[in-house]
Structure 1
Amino acid sequence: MSKKLPQIFLVRHGETEWSKSGRHTGRSDIPLTEKGETAAAWLVERLPPRAFNAVLTSPSQRARRTCELAGFGSRAEIDDDLAEWDYGQYEGVTTPDIHKQHPGWNLFRDGCPDGETGADVALRADAVIEKIRDIAGDVLIFSSSHFLRVLAARWLGLGPEAGLFFVLDTTSISILGYEHNLDEPVIRSWNET
């Protein structure tokens, strides 16, 4: 019998007022909306019944509350590396408003003034990947969209700018894993809502 390969379950937090309106929400601690709370509670039924070897969450209120409502709050370890992108001057601003001042701006390519670059976020994602590869088994992670998108890109050995291609909805579940062995990282499922 072949050894079961570990899987990494990624959960984006539930809806907030800022995620609903498209405002970049990095370090601002915005609570879930009522809809976000309801969707997060539904994760209890949507996440597969399995014994996770570790449950990690971003320090943000929105990720921690999503984790709690999904039934994992008492098991979760807060990991600062899972924090959302630091948007610096673009915190609370929408992409269309940024484009009025900087046409063609792309978060994953250009980063944020007084915030993080894609390379900065990739370093944190690489640290998370190193941690989860040291855990012998399945891991459940609660975090935010842009960070998880860079994490997926880095999982595949791609640069952080590839995060552009991995869209995530609120309370979506995605699964990172392996094909035949631990040298073949893959995306097993993406943005399941």
Structure 2
Amino acid sequence: MADEVWLVRHGETEWSRDGRHTSTTDLPLTEPGRAVAATLRRRLADEEFSLVLTSPRERARETARLGGHPEAQVDDDLVEWDYGELEGLTTEQIRETYPGWTIWQGPVPGGESAGQVSDRLDRVVARCRATGGRVLLFGHGHCLRALAARWLELPVAEGRHLRLDTATISVLGFERDTPVVLRWNL
């Protein structure tokens, strides 16, 4: 069983900087995003991981590389929540059509439901729990927040309580046999 699961959100992209929802659009990191992601190398240097996984998206893979883990294995289940027709829009733009909208409560026309996100993230959680030692995951804001909720055995929507900034480290683990958040948004 994994002792800890370390989560790293990718560095800044133009769309994350501007508050635009980004799932399938494969954007590179901005120069400031690359610089901050490079600081992860020092922050992760003394840590050993038995398994390192990354989303297949360029922004996550580049963050893994800059953070000192170019060997990270691609796991398609770590992609960001598919925003469907809402891709590239800001929350304010989406709320013009869907007042009060959040990703956590939908709708997400043409995208993934919370149930679909939960199913694929449950596979990641199971893979982590089946691995001994520490696991390191490079991914995306909503996906990693939802993954943390599933680690805690909560519905995906409870990820709404976990703000996650770009190029931050969070750590999940256990207190005795209970899954817990050990550190968040560092």
* TM-score (norm: length of structure 2): 0.97
Aligned-partner Cα distance in 2 for 1:140–1:191:
15
* Residues 12-21 or 47-56, more deviating: 47-56
How far apart, CA to CA, are the structure 1 residues paired with 2:173 and 2:153?
13
Equivalents in 2 of 1:51, 1:98: separation in Å? 42
Q: Which amino acid aligns with 1:155?
A: W
**Alpha-carbon deviations, 1:79-123, whole Å to 9, x = none?**
000000100000000000001111011211114100001111111
Unaligned ranges ≥5, structure 2: none
Residue equivalent to 1:92: 88
8 A contact 1:6–1:137 mirrored in 2: yes
Match of 2:67? Answer: 70
Q: CA deviation at 1:158?
A: 0.5
Partner of 1:159: 155
| Runs of at least 5 residues in structure 1 that lack an aligned partner in the other structure | none
Residue number in structure 1 paired with 2:131: 135
Alpha-carbon RMSD across the aligned residues, in angstroms, is: 1.2
Q: 1:68 and 1:35 mapped to 2: Cα distance?
A: 16
Q: What is the letter of the counterpart of residue 154 of structure 1? A: R
Query: What does the per-residue CA deviation read over 1:62-83, in whole Å, with 9 as the maximum and x for residues that have no partner?
Result: 000000001101x210000000
Give me the identity figure in percent: 49
Per the normalisation by structure 1, the TM-score is 0.94
Alpha-carbon shift at residue 51 of structure 1 (Å): 1.6
Q: Match for 1:109 among 102, 105, 114?
A: 105
Equivalent residue in structure 2 for 1:188, among 168, 175, 182: 182
- CA distance in 2 between counterparts of 1:57 and 1:95 reads 26
Equivalent-residue separation in structure 1 for 2:98 and 2:122 (angstroms): 29
Q: How does 1:41-52 map to 2 (within 5 A)?
A: 41-47=38-44, 49-52=46-49
2:32 aligned with 1:35, yes or no?
Answer: yes
Ranges of 4+ aligned residues in structure 1 off by more than 4 Å: none
Kept after mapping to 2: 8 A contact 1:111/1:118: no
